[in-house]
Amino acid sequence: MQRVPVTESQGRIHTSAAGVLVLPEVDEPEELEINQNDLKIDVYRSSGPGGQSVNTTDSAVRITHLPTGIVVAMQNEKSQLQNREAGMRVLRARILAHQQEQIDAENSAQRKSQIRTMDRSERIRTYNYPENRIADHRTGYKAYNLDQVMNGDLEPVIQSAIELDEQARLDAIGD
């Protein structure tokens, strides 16, 4: 971008560069379905304080999600059924967190692969305000209607990008 700021008393042109990274928006997972075949459920006797029932009933539950290796152990309640339900709630939350971490890691890797140095030699478009000029260096588009483009008239700029893409596809077919 080339502009003359209001605060510039001698009329010098200031040049700036900016980068924009666009990623697709991902929908939130609706409900996590856990296949029972992916679970290994062990029951055992609880340990710690709690009276005689601790040593006589297998009320503690350990649930292992085999695909992810996430393990949840629950022995807070007196009944095995209650511990199993509580364990499944915790397991579901941990699996969702695990999936979100994977999505975040993929997005981070994608972001890093697209980040450039933003060196001026990598420029795509020049917006020259003093001359009211816009130039797209990839497509060769050049016009003196920057004010109209900044007000939303993007059709000529977009059309030049479409024509370049179509030409590249035709050239690829011809080879």
Report pLDDT digits (tens) over 51-90: 665 566 778 899 999 998 999 998 888 788 888 889 998 8
Residue 12 Cα distances to 3, 4, 7, 136, angstroms = 8, 6, 10, 23
Residue 151 clears pLDDT 90, i.e. is over it: yes
**CATH assignment, 36-114:** 3.30.160.20
Q: Please classify residue 101 by burial: count the beta carbons closer than 10 Å to its beta carbon, then call 0-12 exposed, 13-18 middle and 19+ buried.
A: exposed
Residue whose pair of structure tokens reads 């994977």 in the numeric block:
102
Residue 2 clears pLDDT 70, i.e. is over it: yes
Beta bridge pairs of residue 112: none
**Which residues make Cβ contacts (< 8 Å) with residue 8, sequence separation at least 6?**
14
**pLDDT, position 144:** 94
pTM of this structure: 0.49
**pLDDT, position 22:** 66
Distance of CA 126 to the CA centre of its chain: 29
Q: How many residues does the chain have?
A: 175
Q: What percent of the chain has pLDDT over 70?
A: 82
Residue whose pair of structure tokens reads 């917006």 in the numeric block:
127
**Which residues make Cβ contacts (< 8 Å) with residue 28, sequence separation at least 6?**
none
The overall average pLDDT reported for the chain is 83
Q: Where in the chain is the domain with CATH 3.30.160.20?
A: 36-114
Q: What is the pLDDT of residues 97-115, one digit of tens each?
A: 888 888 888 888 877 776 6
